[in-house]
Amino acid sequence: MNKFSWYEATSIEDALQQVNTTVSEELYQSTNEAAVFKSGGIDVFDWIKEGLIKPKKIINIRNIPNLDTISFHEKEGLRIGSNVTLAELATNPNIKNHYLALHQAVNHAATPQLRNMSTLGGNIAQRNRCWYFRSADHQCFRKAGDRCFARHSETGENENHAIIDNGSCVSIHASSIATALMAFNASVVIVNGKGERKEVSMDDFFVSAGKDIAMETILVAKEIITEIVIPAPSKNTKSYYIKQGARESYDWSMADVAVVIETAGDTCKSASIVLGAAAPVPYRSVQAQEAMAKKALNTENASAAAEAAMSIARPLSKNGYKVPLFKSIIKEAILKIT
């Protein structure tokens, strides 16, 4: 690990004066002069320990006041500060009572020890999971290289990789919590170095590899996440989240799904269905949503929605198992709503 200086930010303005780049930008074009943010620090220090980034300065934003609160209003919804830990989310009664799928996603994320350290802002802003991307020995597209090592039909180890939108990059986004947040139509509040504030939907916060190979989010230097906002659900809204890993104990997701449905009796009035570990960013399945809209909540329609979601899947040489796996958990999550 390289030597770096440590800066303890005391305010949002203070932090934004110190930072000069993002981890994404530094990975794509290294300067060795980077000053980057650290909150929980788990993902950032992974990159540093592997020698993939060598920042000159780490700006600790973990102790900035007023970024660690959770508030809920029945009409206005939920507001979560970016420095709220996953452990705090996991035990919040308002999240459990009004946003069940989010509660389930948080409680399936990482280990209890990591949930005590990880912050929500850091969780959704972390870089993608791919052993080639996270290896100093492989210069892939996301690091300004000339190939995707995982895509190779014979030598590529791609069993955990993307089956949707897997063109130039087949990595998958690591945050299963983002899957649930997107299903609840959450927004991300971002403040820039000029003090300007913008609120961006989760659908627009993430950036596809086809649009920008170096980035997974819209965040650039001199920007910081301050909170995540989730609208208040209607009284007839129900949700469910399922994560499938290789083991029952802590493991990265092989496939996960968050389903949020506004019901009208036994009918789906509208559906929000988002897949995790399916694409390089959390993927909203418009196909599944349209298949469920105005339909009865039954096995036949849930199966049809699952089939619709996977109709666009293009599995790689070793991850074809994900197609039936996603069909199974999408169907199961929808039927849990009934």
Domain that holds residue 304: 237-336
Which helix (DSSP H) or strand (DSSP E) does residue 204 occupy?
helix 202-205
CA-based nearest residue to 273, from 299, 255, 292: 292
Q: What is the largest CA-CA distance in the chain?
A: 61
Q: Which CATH number does the domain housing residue 30 bear?
A: 3.30.43
Single pTM value for the model: 0.96
Per-residue pLDDT, 249 = 63
- Interatomic CA distance for residues 172 and 138, integer angstroms: 17
Domains of the chain: total:
2
Q: Is residue 313 part of a domain?
A: yes
169: CB partners within 8 A, 6+ apart? 128, 130, 140, 141, 142, 148, 162, 209, 213, 280
Domain end (from 13, 45, 63): 63
Residue 198's DSSP bridge partners are 190
Per-residue pLDDT, 112 = 85
Phi then psi for residue 46, to 5 deg, are: -60, -45
Which helix (DSSP H) or strand (DSSP E) does residue 60 occupy?
strand 57-60
Q: Is residue 322 part of a domain?
A: yes
In 216-318, which ranges are E strands? 223-230, 237-245, 253-264, 267-276, 283-284
Please, what is the Cα angle at 110 between 106 and 111, to 5 degrees?
110
Domain end (from 28, 46, 63): 63
- Interatomic CA distance for residues 54 and 4, integer angstroms: 8
The DSSP string of 297-319 is: SSHHHHHHHHHHHHTT----SS-
Q: Is the dihedral of CA 217, 121, 325, 147 positive or negative?
A: positive
Q: Is residue 39 part of a domain?
A: yes
Domain end (from 47, 63, 79): 63
Cα torsion for 103, 220, 284, 229, to the nearest 10°? 40
272: CB partners within 8 A, 6+ apart? 182, 183, 184, 185, 258, 259, 260, 261, 284, 289
Average pLDDT of the residues of the chain:
95
Q: Is residue 20 part of a domain?
A: yes
pLDDT digits (tens, 9 = 90+) for 247-287: 766 778 999 999 999 999 999 999 999 999 999 999 999 99
Q: Is residue 332 part of a domain?
A: yes
Q: Say if CB 162 and CB 172 are below 8 A apart.
A: yes
Q: Is residue 148 part of a domain?
A: no
Per-residue pLDDT, 154 = 82
Query: At which residue do the structure tokens 């000053």 appear?
Result: 35
User: In which region does residue 195 sit, left (phi positive, over 0), alpha (psi from -120 to 50) or beta (all else)?
Assistant: left
Count Cα neighbours of 198 within 13 Å in the Cβ-side half-sphere: 12
Per-residue pLDDT, 248 = 67
Q: Is residue 57 part of a domain?
A: yes
Secondary-structure breakdown of the chain: helix, strand, coil percentages, each rounded to the nearest 5: 30, 25, 45
Spans of the chain below 50 pLDDT? none
Q: Is residue 191 part of a domain?
A: no
First to last CA, the chain: 52
pLDDT digits (tens, 9 = 90+) for 58-68: 999 999 999 99
